[in-house]
Structure formats: structure tokens, C-alpha cells
Chain A
Amino acid sequence: MNTETAHAVTISILYTALIFLIAWYAHRRKEAGRSIVSNPIIYSLSLAVYCTSWTFYGSVGKASTTGIDFLMIYLGPSLAAFSWLFLLRRIIKISKENNITSIADFISLRYGKSLWLGALVTIIAILGIMPYIALQIKAVSHSFYLVSGLQINDITFEGLGSNTKLPIGLILALILSVFSIIFGARRLVSSERHEGLVAAVAFESLIKLLSLVGVGIFVTYGLFDGFTDIFSRFKAFDPAAFDRLFTFDASNHNPEHVPTFTMLFLAMGAIMLLPRQFHVMVIENSDEKHVSTAMWLFPAYLFLINLFVMPIALGGILTTGSNSGADFFVINIPLVTGNRSIAMLAFLGGLSAAAGMVMVESVAISTMLLNHIFMPIIVRCTPRTWFSVLLINLKRVGIFLVIMMGYVYHQIVGDSYMLVNMGLISFSAAAQFLPAMLGGLYWRRGNKAGAIGGILFGSLIWFYTLLLPSFSKSGWLPADLLTDGPFGITLLRPTALFGLSDMDLWSHSLFWSMLFNISTYIICSILLKQTEQEREQVLKFIVVYEKERTSRQTETKRLSKPVTTSQFVTLMTKFIGEAEANRAISQYTGNREINAEGTVSEFDLPNLKRHTEKTLAGSVGAAAAGAIVDSFLSDMGSRMESVYDIYSTVRTSLDQSRESLFVRLKASEIINRTLDLQIIMDDLLNLLLKEFNLDVAIIQLKNDDGTFTVNSYQGANRRPINVNHWYTESKPYFDMVYRDRKPHLLNDIRLASDVVPLELTLSEGCISCAHIPISREGEPAIGILSVFSKSIAGLFTEEFTSLLSSLSGQLAQAITIVQEMRAKDLERDQKELALLDNARVIRDMEIAQQIQLSLLPDSAPEIFGIDLAGRCISAAHVGGDYYDFFRRNEHTVDMLIADVSGHSVGAALIMAEVRTLLRAQVNSAHSASSILNILNGQLYEDLTRAELFITMFYAKYNSASGRLSYSNAGHNHPMIHRAGEVSCIELDTEGLIIGVKTSVVFEERSIELISGDVILFYTDGLTEAFDIEGEMFGNSRVCSHLGEVAHLTAREILDSLYDTVIEFTGSQTLQDDISMVVLKIK
């Protein structure tokens, strides 16, 4: 080995060691739970595994031969990145949910876990990727020759006894294999993320970017004087080439030329469909959110890495004089100009690009190989304990195999193609997955037959029109195949199929393969039906996203023979090892009911089966996992059977069954037939009992005090419904259902008894039950519907439960309506009653008022020489005002005015009593004071009891003598207006209100009245009438008004006073009664 070789080898080894260290560190961090890989920048960098040595060397090659067309390969992914927001995220979501391991797994899972489809995709991927890996090996080994200065193809190891010669390419392939195995196949679980691998790839992406940009800067600013300098110098050097290189599609005459659109299309597909891209994008994705960062960061990366491609290409042509060997300008320019260290940097960049690609690709492909080629064979054998060891080693062999196939292809095809073109063969192969992939995500009808047919036809065309010619060109196959077609049939010439000869190689292949692929996919999907299993997968892939259904999948199957969890563990152990198996099962059992023997409820078994499948799918792919579990179950003598077979009445399909529609219809009839809730409830329960073979059905409604009352009980075991009844055992469930407003199902009471003992229920023979809240949407529950079955465990499927819930909703509606109607009736009745009561009271009061008014004298007695009148205006209610006149003889008249305190009926009664007492002594001749005295004595007891008192002014007028004798019991002082006098004379005597003391001395006085005197007796209602501002009418106003109206008759004076008071108060309603008596001396 010369020094340069040693140099190159040393640096390569050191660099390899560095990458190894990074990967190891990332792995350690992950084990410690502090991932360095889980961030959007690392994710974006790992996506840059797209940029292989093809980018690194090939882009410059392409740029210097066909010009800026090379950009299409990067423009495609940048454009495709726009779709990631919905497309990639959905793919990631589905993959995470189903433990997807590869693109083959993804496609086969979508089409009913088809084993054939998985295998087909795998084979195409392997064939398609061969040229690509070959390209990497070619690029690296060639660049190694360049930097090391070796002119031979082999390295001779002298220390190994005999002289062993190994080709550089082979050594490289071996090293890469070891590397890939270490990072990609440490453990079997391939759905698990390989953080070491991702870290290594991300680091390599960084190195290749720095390296290419470094070389670019060196060429542009070191050798030349910036972009402008290179471009202008090149234009001067070869103006024709300059125009050609800077124009799209300028070289149609070149058969190897790839049209812009074809390239763009292939690149857009490749970014997601190449197995390694799918692997880093989907399988190694740690967080969906990283996608949004990658959407701009990845295109930005592509932009940066391509920034200096054109300058390097032109600089290369200027430096070396031609574009031959343009593929390695990146290394050659520094070498030719004597900058070895720059060349070394370029070499490392190229090595990074190639190594990253080969590692990820081989891991991805070997996973597919294992899961879709080896596994389907292995699952036919009886599982053995050494299976997990076998599987991991098969995977390792797979990695080795894939890389070696690339090496072999490299040996065969060798130098006959440019780097870029070798890559395009791979891109075309990957494009064959596009219809099945997109259709699978968005077209419900896309089916297995379509997918298999499409991919098969498409890839056959690809093989025939692209791969075959590549072999043929390298002389491996007779060249006349290309020129004359097979067996001389020119119509079948691989490069001009069916006479389509005007197209370039790539567009020609793409056109035919896509035509066959897409049309087969669509035609088969439309013509042929999907199987049950396919439909189930369509749900997972499409319907979940369209309907945003969150509820779990409907249980339509059950196991005919129960299997224990430990049996599942044993099965899993055989494939993924004991530790993994135990972890998986504890993950499953974490929140489920399991009894002591480790059996899960019969109705949880399908879930457990699915979980087992999913766990296994993480290691061996979904299709194989399904096959493993199915064959295991059939060995056990158990199989999946449709729940539909168990009972005939409720069909558990997603669509509403005829039976369920019938029941709904009947229920509506029952509910609408009557407003009698009891009949509705009884009939509804009987309908349920009859239609679903239930044994007991109960409706409980919530009372106002929070307790439940059984409002309807139908079915078996009728007995006095009291606290000892067996249904009361379920009280905790009732409470829970009421609180959560969600149905609660016990598909097997026997298993649930640990939580809430239901022994009585069990001993009644009930084995399953459901409690459904009776509530309207979004409202609190008003009751609970409970149904019990004695014959069928697991009766309560999601379908059945939702039917029951819907019936409960209808019932709640009916109950609410009836209750509302009742409440309204009640409210109306009460209102009417209250109104009636009120009216009665008012009427009574009106009558009382009328009676009271009628107790007052209609008119005053006619006595010569006087004009006498009285008036009482009562306020709203009965009161205690009273006035009266008694004609003693033709000269003498008694008049009195009184006020019983308060405004009650009591006051009115006392007033009536006063009247009676007074009238009784009309004929006995007493003085005013003695009458008051007598009254006080007679009324004291009554007034004390009634807690009332009376004020009274009693007067006697003798028209013959003209004297008025009077006595006062605390009443308002009557006023005398005398003609010519401004102020009024007020009459008062000593005494006390009646009813305070048993014996009172009432003074009696007299006054001589003269003609024109007007005497006003009144109650406090007059002087204490308020105006709006709260001022009282007062004595002075009464007096002055009296003066103004003294010339009127007594009656007119009364009316005038009344009008004045009303005007003063500003209101038609009085606060208090007003009584007035006017005596006018003629």
C-alpha cells in the first residue's frame, strides 16, 4: 500500500469509527430514555438519506452533460413535500396504529393483509433497489480509487498466508453489511425505531452537505472568482454548451436523455415510495409533529446541497477540458488542482451519502424480505422455541443478501450507465407502488385484486422495458433483443413497446407501466368485490379519517373455543422472545378484567387476539402475524366465528339491520300511541323482551329526592319490588350510569362479580346485563333502563347497545314531554286556584266594604235651622271609620264621628259593634260625656282582646238653644268656621281614647253657635293625606278651605273638601278612609 492509500484507508476507518460512536451514543441515550434523535431537525436530516452518492457525484455529472435538468430530481420531492401535511401524516398515523414495519407491510395490510401482495411488493422492491445499491458501491469504490491513487481493482492482503485478493467494491459491501446489521438488526422488533441508525444517517447527511458545499466553495471561490466568473468563463469557452446546459429539454436527440416531466414525476413518487424513504419517514418517525418542520427544512436542505452543483460542473469542464468523467468532478477537481485535503473531504461526503443509503435501504428491504418472503413459509411450520433466534439471524442474512445483490448488479452492469440513470431505474420501480398506495388511502373501493394486478403488470412492464435493457446494454443479454424484439417480433421491442418508438427510454417505460398499473388497479377494483377482511382494513385506512369515528371497532367475531392469555404468551415468545412477549401481554392486561386462571372474558378474547397480532406484526409484518395467529388457533381447535351466528335478532353490521329498524319503528309507535307513561314503558319493555330474547327489563326513574323508583318491571322473577329484590344489587351500576350518562354493560356477570357482588342476580340465572341511561342528548339522565339476559353472555355488542341507547333517548323524550305537560297543567291549576282565592277574598272584602258603608247613615236627619251632611270615602279596604246621627227630638240631634285604629276586618267589626251599642241607647237621655263613659266601659274588654282602640268625638246640638255640647275621646278636633274670622275654633275636651283604661273621666263642654257657623267633624284620613312630596294636608288647609266654601250647602262643602284633598294627593286612591260630617247653622 502506498502512503496515499494508507491515508485514505486510515481516514475512512477513523470516520467509520466516528459514525459508529455517534450511533452507539444515540442508542445509549435512547436506552436511558433521553432520546437525542427525537427532534424535527434530526428527522429532516434523516430524510436527506434521499441524497445518496447519486446526488453527491451524479448530479454534477448530470449537470455537466445535460445541464440544469438534474434539478428535477430535487424539485420533485420539494413539491411533494406540500402533500406531507395530509398524506404523510395519515400514513404515519396508520402505521403507528398498526405497527407497520415497511412499505410492503403497509400496502399488504391495506388490502386485507394479503400475503401475496406483501411478497410482490418485496420482490419488486428488491429488484428495483439493486441498481441503486450498485450505484452506491460503484460510486464509493470509484472515488476510493481516485483518492487513494490505486489503479487496480483489488487490494492484496499479504498477511493472510496466501495472497488473498479482494475487490475494493466487495470489501466495501461487506463493511456496509456489518454496519447495517449492527444498527438495523439488533432486535427483531422492526416496527421499533432504530435510533442509532437514524443518528448515524442524520450525521452523514450533515457531513455530505458540508462536504459538497465545501467543495463548491473551493471551486467557486478558490479556483475561480465566484459564480459570475465561472459562468462567464464557461460561456466564453463553449457558448453552445452553455446554452444547452441552461435550457430544459434542450437535448432531445440523446436517447439517454430524461425529459423534465418524467424525471419530476419519478422523483415525486420516489421520495415517499422508496423503501428507505418510507422507513426513515414513517417507521423511524418519533412524532407526527416533526413532519411540519421537515416540510420546509428538507426542501431547504435540497436547495443548499444543489447550490454549488452547477458551478462545480462548469468548473470541472473548464478545469479538465471536457465532460468525460464528470460524475467524479467533485473529487477530481481538487485532485487535479492538487488539493488532496479537499479531495479527502469530498470522498468522505460521498462515502457518507452512500453508506447512509445502503444501511437504511438494506435494513428496510431485509425487514420486508423477512416478513413477506421468509415468514409466510415459516408460519407453516409449527412454532418452536428457537424461532426467535432464527428470525433475527434471517434478518441479518437478509441485509447481507440485499447488499450483495447490489454488488452483483454492479459487477454485471458496471460502467454502462451513468450514476443518475441507474438511480432512475430504481425510481421507476418504486413508482409502481403509487396507485395502490394513494388509492389505498383515499379510494374505498380499491381492492386486493386491483392492487396485486396493478403492481404486477406495472412492474412486469418496468422489468421488460427498463431492467432488461440495462442488462442487455452491458452485454449480458444479446443486444438484438433491443433492436429486433424477442423472437424477432418488433412490436414487442422492450424500448419501443407496441410500436411506441418516438419516446425516450424512461418516459416510454413510465408510460406503459403506469398505463397498465393504473388501469388494472381501477378495473379490478370496480369489477371485483372486496372480502370481509379487506373491508375491515378499509375502515382502518379510510373510514376512520373520513368519519372521525373514535369508537372502537365493532365486535363481529368470537372465538369458538376460549384460549388463555398464557397460551398467547407462549405463542408470542416463540417469535419475539419471552421478555417481549411478557411486556406485550402486561401492556394489554393493564386495564382489563382478568380472573385468577388468566382467562379473559370470552368477549375480550378477540381483542386479545388482535393485540397479539399487532404485537407480532411489529416483528413479522401484519400479514404474517395474522397467518401465525390463525394457524395457532386452528391448532388449538378454535376458530373465529361470526357473532351473527349466535343469535339471530341483532345483526352486528355497521349498517342498521332490518331488525333494528323494525324495533325502532315499533318503539316509535308505542311512544306516539298514548300519553300514558305507564303504558309506554310497559309496552316498550315487553317489546325489548320479545325481540331480543331478554329475560328481565326494568325502567327506573329518578325522583326529586335523588332516589330511584321502579316504574316498570317486565319479564321473569316478578316478586314484590322492595329493597330485598335482587335487582338492587346493581345499585352501584345505576349510580355510575346515572352519573356518567353512559351505558354500562356486563357481558358476563360472572367475571364482573369481583367488583360489585351480584350473587343474587347470578342465582336468578342472569348472566349478562346492560344499564342504559334514559336521557336526552346533552341533558342529565332522568332514569335508567336495565335489561338482563339469562341465556346469552356477550349479548351487548356495540350495535345492540347503541340501539338500546337510542330507544332510551326516545323514551326520555316521551317522559320529558309528559312530565312537562303535567307540570304545565299543575301550574295552570294552581294559578287558577290562586286567582279564584284572590277573587273570592276581594269579593268578600268588597261585600264587607259595602256592608260597612251601608252601616253609615244614608242621609242626615232634617232639623229646623241646620244643614247637616256626612260622607265617608273608603280607601281600598275595609276600615274603622264611623259617623252617625241620632235625632233625639225636633230640636236636638246627636252626631258623632269615630275611628277604630287599624284597617283590619277587626276594626270594621268593632265599628259595627260601636254602632249597635250606640243605637241601643238612642232613647235614653245621656250627655255626650256619659255616653263616651258607657261606651268605654262596654268596649274595654273587646278592644283589649282585639288590641285596638277607638277615638270618638260625640256632640249634641239643640237648635232651640243654639248650643252644641260635646265630649272628646282623643279624636281629631272638629273645626268651626265662623263668618268674618280667619282661624277656626277647634273643639276639644279632656278625656282619653276608648279602650285604654277601664275608667276614664270624660269632660263635657258646650259652645253657642251662631248663624253661618260651619262645623266640620273629620277623621285623620283628611288631615293626614299626603301629597307626592310627603307633605300632609294639615289642619290649616282644611280651615282655610272651609272659609272659602262656607257659603255652600253642607253637602257641597263635603264634596268640595273631598275634591281638594284628591287634588292635593295627586292620586285617585286614598291611603286611608276619609269621613267628614258638616253641620251648618242656617
Chain B
Amino acid sequence: MNFKTEISGSTVVVFVKEERLDANNSEELKSELNRIFESGSKDLIVDLKEIRFIDSSGLGVLVSGFKNASTRQGTIKLSGLQTQVKSMFELTRLHRVFDIFPTVDDALESY
């Protein structure tokens, strides 16, 4: 899986550079999120600008990331959701769970 991790202050931003986030590649994102939490960061932004399709496995990774952040009193924020992704979040009502922003900058400003 293609992604890029940037550190902006105390916040870590993960740019997911894939069109799909599904069973085939979500494990790698999970390891990356775990790695970031293990390294002590608590505030995380996952940018999904490029994702056009997300399935239950992809959601599962973000959910477990959310739980992980919660146990560490941290946050996980999402940005750049496309229509299909957004409707997936709305369907599952996960948009009420996650803080979702139009862009990474917006997400960063929210801290």
C-alpha cells in the first residue's frame, strides 16, 4: 500500500495514496496506524482524499484506529472524504464517531 506519513507538530498525518481501501490493503494501514500509536503519538489525521472506495475491512481499520486512539486519550481525525466514502460513513453512522474535515489543513486547525 502506498501512503505517506508526515509529522506536523504533535500531530501525525497519514496520507493514503490509494484509490481503494479494502481487504487487500487495509492490513498495511493498520500496521502503520499501530506503529504511529506505539511511537507515542496520540493525535492522528488520516487523509482519504484519494480513496474512491472503502469496504468494511477499510472501515474496520479506521474503527480500530479510533478505539486505539480513545484508549490513549488521543484522537483520530479524517479528511478529504469522497462521496462514496462519505456515504459509507453516513450509512454506518461513523461520521458521528469521527471528526471529519474537508482538508488536512482544516483538520490541523481544529487542534
| Chain A positions near chain B (C-beta within 8 angstroms) | 899, 901-903, 944, 947-949, 951, 970-973, 990-993, 995-997, 1020, 1024, 1072
Task: Give Cα A970 to B93, complex, Å.
Answer: 6
Which of B3-11, B42-50, B63-71, B103-111 faces chain A?
A: B63-71
Establish whether residues B92 and A902, one from each chain, have CB atoms under 8 Å apart when the complex forms.
no
Establish whether residues A993 and B94, one from each chain, have CB atoms under 8 Å apart when the complex forms.
yes
A-B contact pairs, 28 of them (CB 8 A): A899-B56, A901-B59, A901-B60, A902-B23, A902-B56, A902-B60, A903-B23, A944-B64, A947-B60, A947-B61, A947-B63, A949-B56, A949-B59, A949-B63, A951-B56, A951-B92, A970-B92, A970-B94, A972-B91, A973-B91, A990-B93, A992-B96, A993-B92, A996-B67, A996-B97, A997-B97, A1020-B55, A1024-B55
Establish whether residues B92 and A944, one from each chain, have CB atoms under 8 Å apart when the complex forms.
no
| Chain B positions near chain A (C-beta within 8 angstroms) | 23, 30, 55-57, 59-61, 63-64, 66-67, 91-94, 96-97
Closest A residue by C-beta to B30: A947
Establish whether residues B64 and A993, one from each chain, have CB atoms under 8 Å apart when the complex forms.
no
- B59 contacts which chain A residues (CB < 8 A)? 901, 949, 993
Closest B residue by C-beta to A992: B93
Establish whether residues B94 and A992, one from each chain, have CB atoms under 8 Å apart when the complex forms.
yes
- B64 contacts which chain A residues (CB < 8 A)? 944, 947
Establish whether residues B57 and A902, one from each chain, have CB atoms under 8 Å apart when the complex forms.
yes
For B57, B63, B66, B93, the residue with the greatest tally of chain A CB atoms inside 10 Å of its CB is B93
Task: Give Cα A281 to B17, complex, Å.
Answer: 85
Q: What is the distance, in angstroms, from A994's C-beta to the closest C-beta of chain B?
A: 10
- A991 contacts which chain B residues (CB < 8 A)? 93
Closest A residue by C-beta to B67: A944
Task: Give Cα A951 to B61, complex, Å.
Answer: 15
- B96 contacts which chain A residues (CB < 8 A)? 992
- B63 contacts which chain A residues (CB < 8 A)? 947, 949, 993, 995-996
Establish whether residues A993 and B93, one from each chain, have CB atoms under 8 Å apart when the complex forms.
yes
Task: Give Cα A295 to B15, complex, Å.
Answer: 84
Closest A residue by C-beta to B66: A996
Establish whether residues A949 and B91, one from each chain, have CB atoms under 8 Å apart when the complex forms.
no
Establish whether residues A996 and B94, one from each chain, have CB atoms under 8 Å apart when the complex forms.
yes
Q: What is the distance, in angstroms, from B17's C-beta to the closest C-beta of chain A?
A: 19
Task: Give Cα A973 to B91, complex, Å.
Answer: 8
Task: Give Cα A84 to B30, complex, Å.
Answer: 86
Q: What is the distance, in angstroms, from B11's C-beta to the closest C-beta of chain A?
A: 22
- B92 contacts which chain A residues (CB < 8 A)? 951, 970, 992-993
- A997 contacts which chain B residues (CB < 8 A)? 97
Q: Beyond A902-B57, A990-B93, A996-B67: 14 further Cβ-contacts under 8 Å?
A: A902-B56, A944-B67, A947-B60, A949-B60, A970-B94, A991-B93, A992-B93, A992-B94, A992-B96, A993-B59, A995-B63, A996-B66, A997-B97, A1020-B56
Task: Give Cα A970 to B61, complex, Å.
Answer: 16
Closest A residue by C-beta to B98: A996
Closest B residue by C-beta to A1024: B55
- B23 contacts which chain A residues (CB < 8 A)? 902-903
Task: Give Cα A973 to B63, complex, Å.
Answer: 21
- A903 contacts which chain B residues (CB < 8 A)? 23, 57
Q: 10 closest pairs, A vs B, by CB?
A: A970-B92, A901-B56, A947-B64, A901-B60, A992-B93, A993-B92, A970-B93, A902-B57, A949-B63, A996-B63
Q: What is the distance, in angstroms, from B52's C-beta to the closest C-beta of chain A?
A: 10
Task: Give Cα A803 to B96, complex, Å.
Answer: 88
Task: Give Cα A995 to B56, complex, Å.
Answer: 13
Q: What is the distance, in angstroms, from B102's C-beta to the closest C-beta of chain A?
A: 23
Closest A residue by C-beta to B97: A996
Task: Give Cα A996 to B66, complex, Å.
Answer: 8
Closest B residue by C-beta to A968: B93
- B30 contacts which chain A residues (CB < 8 A)? 947
- B67 contacts which chain A residues (CB < 8 A)? 944, 996
Task: Give Cα A537 to B12, complex, Å.
Answer: 91
Task: Give Cα A358 to B23, complex, Å.
Answer: 105
Task: Give Cα A970 to B98, complex, Å.
Answer: 14
Establish whether residues B60 and A948, one from each chain, have CB atoms under 8 Å apart when the complex forms.
yes
Knowing A901-B59, A902-B57, the reply to whether A970 touches B97 (Cβ < 8 A) is no
Task: Give Cα A601 to B93, complex, Å.
Answer: 97
Task: Give Cα A997 to B92, complex, Å.
Answer: 13
Task: Give Cα A1020 to B30, complex, Å.
Answer: 23
Closest B residue by C-beta to A1000: B93
Establish whether residues A970 and B60, one from each chain, have CB atoms under 8 Å apart when the complex forms.
no
- A973 contacts which chain B residues (CB < 8 A)? 91
Closest B residue by C-beta to A970: B92
Task: Give Cα A903 to B30, complex, Å.
Answer: 16
Q: What is the distance, in angstroms, from A1074's C-beta to the closest C-beta of chain B?
A: 14
Q: What is the distance, in angstroms, from B90's C-beta to the closest C-beta of chain A?
A: 9
- A947 contacts which chain B residues (CB < 8 A)? 30, 60-61, 63-64
Closest A residue by C-beta to B93: A992
Task: Give Cα A903 to B94, complex, Å.
Answer: 20
Task: Give Cα A231 to B89, complex, Å.
Answer: 123
Q: What is the distance, in angstroms, from A485's C-beta to the closest C-beta of chain B?
A: 118
Q: What is the distance, in angstroms, from B84's C-beta to the closest C-beta of chain A?
A: 9
Task: Give Cα A903 to B56, complex, Å.
Answer: 9
- A944 contacts which chain B residues (CB < 8 A)? 64, 67
Closest A residue by C-beta to B52: A1030
For A903, A951, A993, the residue with the greatest tally of chain B CB atoms inside 10 Å of its CB is A993
Closest A residue by C-beta to B96: A992
- B97 contacts which chain A residues (CB < 8 A)? 992, 996-997
Establish whether residues B91 and A970, one from each chain, have CB atoms under 8 Å apart when the complex forms.
yes
For B56, B67, B91, B97, the residue with the greatest tally of chain A CB atoms inside 10 Å of its CB is B56
Task: Give Cα A1072 to B57, complex, Å.
Answer: 12
For B57, B59, B67, B92, the residue with the greatest tally of chain A CB atoms inside 10 Å of its CB is B92
Closest B residue by C-beta to A972: B91
- B94 contacts which chain A residues (CB < 8 A)? 970, 992-993, 996
Closest A residue by C-beta to B59: A901
Closest B residue by C-beta to A947: B64
- A948 contacts which chain B residues (CB < 8 A)? 60
Task: Give Cα A971 to B88, complex, Å.
Answer: 10
- B93 contacts which chain A residues (CB < 8 A)? 970, 990-993
Task: Give Cα A972 to B93, complex, Å.
Answer: 11
Task: Give Cα A901 to B21, complex, Å.
Answer: 13
Task: Give Cα A899 to B93, complex, Å.
Answer: 15
For A901, A944, A995, the residue with the greatest tally of chain B CB atoms inside 10 Å of its CB is A901
Task: Give Cα A951 to B91, complex, Å.
Answer: 10
For A944, A996, A1072, the residue with the greatest tally of chain B CB atoms inside 10 Å of its CB is A996
Task: Give Cα A134 to B62, complex, Å.
Answer: 120
- B60 contacts which chain A residues (CB < 8 A)? 901-902, 947-949
Closest A residue by C-beta to B84: A1032
- A1072 contacts which chain B residues (CB < 8 A)? 55
- A902 contacts which chain B residues (CB < 8 A)? 23, 56-57, 60
Task: Give Cα A65 to B94, complex, Å.
Answer: 131
Q: What is the distance, in angstroms, from B20's C-beta to the closest C-beta of chain A?
A: 10
Q: What is the distance, in angstroms, from B21's C-beta to the closest C-beta of chain A?
A: 12
Closest B residue by C-beta to A949: B63
Q: What is the distance, in angstroms, from A966's C-beta to the closest C-beta of chain B?
A: 15
For B55, B60, B66, B94, the residue with the greatest tally of chain A CB atoms inside 10 Å of its CB is B60
Task: Give Cα A948 to B58, complex, Å.
Answer: 11
- A1020 contacts which chain B residues (CB < 8 A)? 55-56
Choice from B57, B66, B91 contacting A901 with Cβ under 8 Å: B57
Task: Give Cα A997 to B64, complex, Å.
Answer: 11
Task: Give Cα A996 to B56, complex, Å.
Answer: 13
Task: Give Cα A903 to B22, complex, Å.
Answer: 11
Q: What is the distance, in angstroms, from A1016's C-beta to the closest C-beta of chain B?
A: 16
- A951 contacts which chain B residues (CB < 8 A)? 56, 91-92
Task: Give Cα A944 to B30, complex, Å.
Answer: 14
Q: What is the distance, in angstroms, from A987's C-beta to the closest C-beta of chain B?
A: 12
Closest B residue by C-beta to A948: B60
Task: Give Cα A995 to B30, complex, Å.
Answer: 17
- A901 contacts which chain B residues (CB < 8 A)? 56-57, 59-60
Q: What is the distance, in angstroms, from A911's C-beta to the closest C-beta of chain B?
A: 13
- B55 contacts which chain A residues (CB < 8 A)? 1020, 1024, 1072
Task: Give Cα A973 to B97, complex, Å.
Answer: 19
